[in-house]
């Protein structure tokens, strides 16, 4: 992902994790003590949420990859909101397609699948600090997101990052989420957004959207509704998967029985062929023996008459004591 564009006047003397030094190493320009604004569309309102030396951008435009951008998001988010009473949620720091796969194609099977929550931040919103610190990082909301959701973050403070998110949402097949984002970027007071998404039969559906002015109780209500909605979907998927497995089991049994039947038919055919071959061989053997006896008999001289001079009688005693004789 090429996220390069001219960076701000913040000087980074030494790059550390995710391309950001500790806040105290930041050197600001002489012209402006706040983080300079790129244009009017990037950050709305100079009187609030200015990017000061202690408020670095969650996702600078000079990040070279999605992974670097999201690691930077986590580091800066923690530095902003890791105060007393804040429980930092567990952000997924892979790409959006990877987050979708982790949520809806969990390797542990259907029971491990979870709904997806997109946290969309904007530093130009009046709730840019209130919502993360008082709602997102509250004990109840943070724990619910950690246990029941895959939470993927992005920052649309800069127009360039907003455009990239629109493109990604369209690319992964979430046009409803893209349209929701487009409808709200012109009203920055609705940010931050927490978009709850469930996948049902290949389609990504927005279950609900938490806006920046929602209280922790309202967000909990919407998140719980998202869990229940996806639980219903997951139960349907489990029933469909069980039915599919049963059909597959029956198909395999039928295929096995068919193979066994073919094997039995083949065995019977082979046995019949063997029987016919043995029968044919026996008949041929008997025929050869008969021919051999006939040949031998034809080679014997005629039996001399009784009393003929020089004739010799040979007598044989048969098993039943009967005697037979033959003249030679």
pLDDT recorded at residue 55: 65
Residue 222 within a domain: yes
Residue 6 within a domain: no
Contacts of 169 (CB under 8 A, 6+ apart): 96, 175, 177, 178, 181
pLDDT recorded at residue 327: 66
pLDDT recorded at residue 202: 86
Residue 77 within a domain: yes
CA-closest candidate to residue 94, choices 144, 150, 145: 150
CA-closest candidate to residue 96, choices 192, 213, 174: 174
**Residue 104 domain boundaries:** 59-229
Residue 267 within a domain: no
pLDDT recorded at residue 242: 87
DSSP 141-187: HHHHHHHH-EEEEEE-SSHHHHHHHHHHHHHTT-HHHHHHHHHHTT-
Taking the C-alpha atoms of residue 181 and residue 4, their distance in angstroms, rounded to an integer, is 23
Please tell me whether residue 311 adopts helix, strand or coil conformation. coil
Residue 21 within a domain: no
Taking the C-alpha atoms of residue 297 and residue 121, their distance in angstroms, rounded to an integer, is 115
Mean pLDDT of successive 10-residue stretches along the chain, which has 328 residues: 39 35 37 37 40 67 89 93 84 94 86 93 92 94 95 94 93 90 81 94 92 94 95 89 91 93 93 93 92 82 70 76 72
Contacts of 176 (CB under 8 A, 6+ apart): 204, 205, 206
Contacts of 173 (CB under 8 A, 6+ apart): 203, 204
Residue 319 within a domain: no
For the domain that residue 126 is a member of, what is the CATH number? 3.40.30.10
Question: How many separate domains does the chain show?
Answer: 1
Contacts of 83 (CB under 8 A, 6+ apart): 133
- Cα Rg for the chain, rounded, in angstroms? 45
Residue 75 within a domain: yes
Residue 293 within a domain: no
Q: What strand order describes the sheet that includes 116-121?
A: 150-155, 116-121, 193-200, 203-210
């Amino acid at each position: 992902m090429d996220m390069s564009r001219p960076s701000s006047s913040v000087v980074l003397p030494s790059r550390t994790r995710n391309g950001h030094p500790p806040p105290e190493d930041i050197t600001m320009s002489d012209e402006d003590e706040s983080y300079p604004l790129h244009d009017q569309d990037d950050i709305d309102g100079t009187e609030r949420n200015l990017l000061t030396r202690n408020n670095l951008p969650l996702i600078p435009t000079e990040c070279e990859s999605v992974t670097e951008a999201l690691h930077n998001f986590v580091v800066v988010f923690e530095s902003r909101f890791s105060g007393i009473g804040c429980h930092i949620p567990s952000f997924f720091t892979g790409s959006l397609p990877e987050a979708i796969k982790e949520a809806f194609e969990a390797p542990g099977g259907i029971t491990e699948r979870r709904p997806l929550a997109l946290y969309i931040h904007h530093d130009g919103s009046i709730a840019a600090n209130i919502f993360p610190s008082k709602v997102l990082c509250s004990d109840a909301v943070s724990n619910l997101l950690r246990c029941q959701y895959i939470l993927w973050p992005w920052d649309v403070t800069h127009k360039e990052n907003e455009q990239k998110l629109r493109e990604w949402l369209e690319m992964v097949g979430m046009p409803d989420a893209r349209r929701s984002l487009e409808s709200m970027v012109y009203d920055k007071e609705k940010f931050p957004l927490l978009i709850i998404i469930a996948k049902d039969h290949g389609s990504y559906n927005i279950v609900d959207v938490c806006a920046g002015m929602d209280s922790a109780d309202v967000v909990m209500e919407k998140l719980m509704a998202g869990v229940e909605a996806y639980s219903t979907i997951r139960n349907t998927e489990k029933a469909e998967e069980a039915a599919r497995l049963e059909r597959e089991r029956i198909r395999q049994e039928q295929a096995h029985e068919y193979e066994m039947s073919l094997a039995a038919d083949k065995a019977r055919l082979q046995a019949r062929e063997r029987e016919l071959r043995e029968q044919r061989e026996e008949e041929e053997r008997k025929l050869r023996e008969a021919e051999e006896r006939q040949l031998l008999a034809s080679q014997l001289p005629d039996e001399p008459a009784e009393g003929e001079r020089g004739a010799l009688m040979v007598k044989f005693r048969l098993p039943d004591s009967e005697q037979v004789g033959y003249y030679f």
